[in-house]
Amino acid sequence: MSVLFSKLTIRDVTLRNRVLVSPMCMYSSDDGFANDWHMVHLGSRAVGGAAAVITEATAVTADGRISPQDLGIWQDAHVEPLARIFRFIAQQGAVPGMQLAHAGRKASTARPWEGGGPVAVAEGGWTPIHAPSAIPFTPGWQTPRAMTDEDIASVIDAFRAAATRLLAAGGRIVELHAAHGYLLHEFLSPLTNHRTDRYGGSFDNRIRLVLDTTDAVRAVWPERLPLCVRISATDWVEDGWSIDESIALARRLKDRGADVIDCSSGGTVPHAQIHLGPGYQVPFAERIRREAGIMTAAVGMITGAAQAEQVLHLGQADAVVLARQLLRDPYWPMHAAMELNEDVEPPVQYSRAFPRPRA
């Protein structure tokens, strides 16, 4: 039996295999609402056999959206359309989850296919943009406002309220987005956090917002359900956030009730030199798993069944998280099962297309 198709239990949630759908912005919402696009996009990956389907970065406040078209969970009215999708995902045997996010200084930008640059107020963007320090992402982007204590308290509250709504919608995995240069990551990295108060400076101060947010979410997120944190394990810049700090943070997150660290990287500054290649972030998942003693998920250019199996077999991670490969092939888990000669049940409606291996 492969490790890829073995079950994984985290708290009271059992995943049918080790393949997770990575959060992927769809930039397809109106006022934060989930719609038919999200049903088909997320639903197909559940039909395709993934163990958990995690929504895109879902904004905890309207001004925390990356783009005006982001999915959101900042109001109670967002719950019902999400609940419909989550019910469908669960009916397919997958576990529905959500990535909760605040874009920080990278908020109010255009969809990638519309250039991805800042969106002015007149074009549906907004201001102020919040960040630890008043440093724009790159020249020409909005200069954010350095957050006050009240701003910080209200963002923590927004994460807490969003987690409560997620629970009401039937979500069973919560992932905090502390990666890719968005708000929580901006507090972690010395490149973006120049504060001199208790949220900036020392390592303990820079991680405070992530820990406080984790505490706030864990307080309303039931003990029986998993909490993950996606981090950028490195900024890929000298003097930036590092893998050693990530390991130290992971230890602290574990103490606060986080269950899995989803190990991504980069996104803080535009000039980072990222060393891309197959499985390029797997070594981060491996070190964090080994040195912090917490479950990790490996993500980034994992595309093949044998490759994914190897990551798990070598104990580099507990699960693999796929993004683009699952866009190319929503049935990747079924195809991977065939390649590894695993007996995985397709949806009954599709059973004639996915023959079961002989015993």
Which of 160, 165, 177, 289 is in the footprint of ligand FMN by CB under 6 A? 177
> Whole-angstrom Cα distance, residue 176 to residue 211?
11
Q: Taking the complex as a whole, how short is the minimal distance between the CB of residue 332 and ligand FMN, in angstroms?
A: 10
Binding residues for ligand FMN, total number by CB under 6 A: 20
Spell out, one character per residue from 302 to 321, where the chain touches ligand FMN: x when CB under 6 A holds, - when not. x-------------------
Using CB atoms, what's the residue nearest to ligand FMN? 323
Does 264 bind ligand FMN (CB under 6 A)? Our answer is: yes
Q: Would you say 147 or 320 has its CB closer to ligand FMN?
A: 320
> Whole-angstrom Cα distance, residue 108 to residue 128?
10
Q: Would you say 68 or 200 has its CB closer to ligand FMN?
A: 68
Q: Taking the complex as a whole, how short is the minimal distance between the CB of residue 246 and ligand FMN, in angstroms?
A: 15
Burial of 112 (0-12, 13-18, 19+ CB in 10 A): exposed
Does 22 bind ligand FMN (CB under 6 A)? Our answer is: yes
Does 209 bind ligand FMN (CB under 6 A)? Our answer is: no
Query: DSSP string of 163-207?
Result: HHHHHHHT--EEEEEE-TTSHHHHHH-TTT----STTSSSHHHHT
Does 299 bind ligand FMN (CB under 6 A)? Our answer is: yes
Q: Is the backbone peptide bond immediately before 128 cis, with ω within 30 degrees of 0? A: yes
Q: Which of 335, 321, 330, 197 is nearest to 262 (CA)?
A: 321
Stretch 322-341 residues interacting with ligand FMN (CB under 6 A): 322-325
Grouping H, G, I as helix, E, B as strand and the rest as coil, residue 97 is strand
Strands 13-15 and 8-10: antiparallel
Q: Taking the complex as a whole, how short is the minimal distance between the CB of residue 225 and ligand FMN, in angstroms?
A: 20
Stretch 213-242 residues interacting with ligand FMN (CB under 6 A): 230
Q: Would you say 66 or 294 has its CB closer to ligand FMN?
A: 66
Burial of 353 (0-12, 13-18, 19+ CB in 10 A): exposed
> Whole-angstrom Cα distance, residue 287 to residue 110?
35
Which of 40, 220, 274, 301 is in the footprint of ligand FMN by CB under 6 A? 301
The Cα-based distances of 27 to 171, 325, 348 in angstroms read 21, 19, 32
Burial of 273 (0-12, 13-18, 19+ CB in 10 A): exposed
Q: Taking the complex as a whole, how short is the minimal distance between the CB of residue 279 and ligand FMN, in angstroms?
A: 9
* Residues β-bridged to residue 322: 21
Cβ atoms of 25 and 35 within 8 Å: the answer is no
Q: Would you say 132 or 300 has its CB closer to ligand FMN?
A: 300
CB atoms within 10 A of CB 57: 27
Does 267 bind ligand FMN (CB under 6 A)? Our answer is: no
Residue type, 145: R
Q: Would you say 165 or 185 has its CB closer to ligand FMN?
A: 185
Does 108 bind ligand FMN (CB under 6 A)? Our answer is: no
Q: Taking the complex as a whole, how short is the minimal distance between the CB of residue 97 and ligand FMN, in angstroms?
A: 12
Which of 10, 19, 51, 57 is in the footprint of ligand FMN by CB under 6 A? 57
Grouping H, G, I as helix, E, B as strand and the rest as coil, residue 56 is strand
Q: Taking the complex as a whole, how short is the minimal distance between the CB of residue 174 and ligand FMN, in angstroms?
A: 14
Residue type, 317: A
Q: Would you say 64 or 200 has its CB closer to ligand FMN?
A: 64
350 tagged catalytic: no
Question: Which residue is catalytic, options 182, 199, 280, 331?
Answer: 182
Q: Taking the complex as a whole, how short is the minimal distance between the CB of residue 137 and ligand FMN, in angstroms?
A: 16
> Whole-angstrom Cα distance, residue 303 to residue 321?
10
Cβ atoms of 112 and 71 within 8 Å: the answer is no
Q: Would you say 302 or 311 has its CB closer to ligand FMN?
A: 302
Residues annotated as part of the active site:
182
Interface residues with ligand FMN (CB under 6 A) are 22-25, 56-57, 99, 177, 179-180, 230, 264, 299-302, 322-325
